[in-house]
Structures are given as structure tokens and as C-alpha cells.
């Protein structure tokens, strides 16, 4: 379980395509703090640490393997060396819940179809798969590439969020500022719907049937 509060931005330094796909990520997390078998949320996807290495006093690496299922349901298939990743280690009992509860189970790949300046912030318009639109509500929560964000408004096929300068600076979303964004040239991101919305929607399906 995670909170959607990013604690490091790592970089993919190695990819090996074999039966499953192995990724090696460089991070500021110390190797001794990443146990084998531990979970780390990588751009919103919960992955299992299978190896670690300390490369300097300040930098370490961890390896994880991604199955075909993970590659098909996330942006992971396109990750190559140099890819920047939002990282968060799993929540411990007693930790501050600064964002919202995030499982690290990506529901879909969504599109950022517009980026507009609003003061020093960005207003991002996100288009998820159409079947997920019932899960979004104004002032509700959503995890985008592992970042806990608040939904501002909901349209027919998209929703909008506001990203303050701090979030831009301390996450991999900073790279959105380096490329044009439009409906014909969207950026792809991992999306996880709010868990409360998931269960409310499921319960309503049973109420409707009765």
C-alpha cells in the first residue's frame, strides 16, 4: 500500500527482455533500505525488488521483473534506459498518510491531452478509457504515474487536475514541460482510480440489479 507522495525520482539504467522483462533502476534510496521482496511503486505500478546494489555513497540500484501482463496494462513496455520514474516505498503502519491510499495496481493507461499554464501551475486535461469515467468526481482523488492528485472538474470524456510547481519539480512530471502536449500528441500515463470509488461503483451494480 502507498500514499501517492513521491519520495524519489529514479532512472531506468538497464532493461533486459527475456521471458519476463528485467528493469534496473538507479535511486537515492540506500540499498540497505530496500529488502529483497519489498514493494516499490514505480510510476504507479507496484513492483517487487529482486536485487539491489550500492553504486556510491548516495546512489543505489534495484532490479525488478515485469510480466507480460504488467507490460500490457501500463506504460512499462515503452520504458528504456533514461526513463525517469516516480518512486515510493510501501507504507508502514504509523506513517503519515499525506495523499490517499494507493494500491499500486494500475487500472489503465490514460492520455494527457492538454497542458495549460494557470499562474505558475499546470492545468492538465486527462482522458482515460471511456469505461472508467464513472469513477471520477470533482474533488475526488486519482493516482497518475503514482502521484496522488485532486480532480478539479469532470467532463464527458476527460477530467482536469491542477499541478502546482512543487509537484512539477519533485516528480517525473517535470518532463512534461519539455514536450508539446495536445489531443493529437498526448503523453501516456499510468492511472489508478480511487479505491473508495471502485467499491462504491461495485456496490451500486448490485443495488441496480435488485
Mean pLDDT per 10-residue section of the chain, whose length is 210 residues: 94 96 98 96 98 96 97 97 97 76 94 95 97 94 97 97 96 90 93 83 70
Q: Where in the chain is the domain with CATH 2.40.30.20?
A: 8-89, 108-209
pLDDT of residue 20: 96
CATH architecture for the domain at 8-89: Beta Barrel (2.40)
d(CA 27, CA 169): 17
CATH fold group of domain 108-209: Elongation Factor Tu (Ef-tu); domain 3 (2.40.30)
pLDDT of residue 91: 82
Specify the pTM.
Answer: 0.92
pLDDT of residue 210: 56
Q: Which residues of 115-150 are buried (b: 16+ CB within 10 A; e: fewer)?
A: beeeeebbbbbbbbeeebeebbeeebbbbbbbbbbe
pLDDT of residue 204: 78
pLDDT of residue 146: 97
- What letter does residue 184 receive in the DSSP assignment? T
pLDDT of residue 3: 92
* Nearest residue to 109 (alpha-carbon basis) of 191, 42, 195: 191
pLDDT of residue 209: 62
pLDDT of residue 208: 60
Name residue 193's beta-bridge partners: 142
Angle at 158 between CA 155 and CA 164, to 5 degrees: 100
- What letter does residue 185 receive in the DSSP assignment? B
pLDDT of residue 123: 96
Q: How many residues are given for the chain? A: 210
Amino acid at each position: 500500500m502507498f500514499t501517492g507522495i513521491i519520495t524519489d525520482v529514479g532512472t531506468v539504467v538497464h532493461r533486459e527482455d527475456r521471458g519476463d522483462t528485467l528493469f534496473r533502476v538507479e535511486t537515492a534510496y540506500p540499498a540497505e533500505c530496500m529488502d529483497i521482496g519489498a514493494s516499490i511503486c514505480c510510476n504507479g505500478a507496484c513492483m517487487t525488488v529482486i536485487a539491489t546494489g550500492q553504486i556510491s555513497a548516495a546512489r543505489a540500484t534495484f532490479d525488478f521483473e515485469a510480466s507480460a501482463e504488467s507490460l500490457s496494462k501500463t506504460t512499462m513496455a515503452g520504458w528504456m534506459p533514461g526513463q525517469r520514474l516516480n518512486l515510493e516505498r510501501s507504507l508502514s503502519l504509523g506513517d503519515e498518510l499525506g495523499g490517499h491510499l494507493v494500491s499500486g495496481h494500475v487500472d489503465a493507461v490514460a492520455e494527457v491531452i492538454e497542458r495549460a499554464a494557470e499562474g505558475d501551475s499546470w492545468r492538465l486535461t486527462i482522458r482515460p478509457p471511456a469505461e472508467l469515467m464513472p469513477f471520477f468526481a470533482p474533488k475526488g482523488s486519482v493516482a497518475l504515474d503514482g502521484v496522488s492528485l485532486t480532480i478539479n472538474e469532470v467532463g464527458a470524456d476527460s477530467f482536469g487536475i491542477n499541478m502546482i510547481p512543487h509537484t512539477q519539480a519533485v516528480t517525473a512530471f517535470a518532463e512534461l514541460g519539455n514536450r508539446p502536449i495536445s489531443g493529437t500528441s498526448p503523453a501516456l500515463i499510468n492511472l489508478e482510480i480511487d479505491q473508495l470509488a471502485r467499491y462504491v461503483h461495485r456496490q451500486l451494480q448490485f443495488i441496480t440489479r435488485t
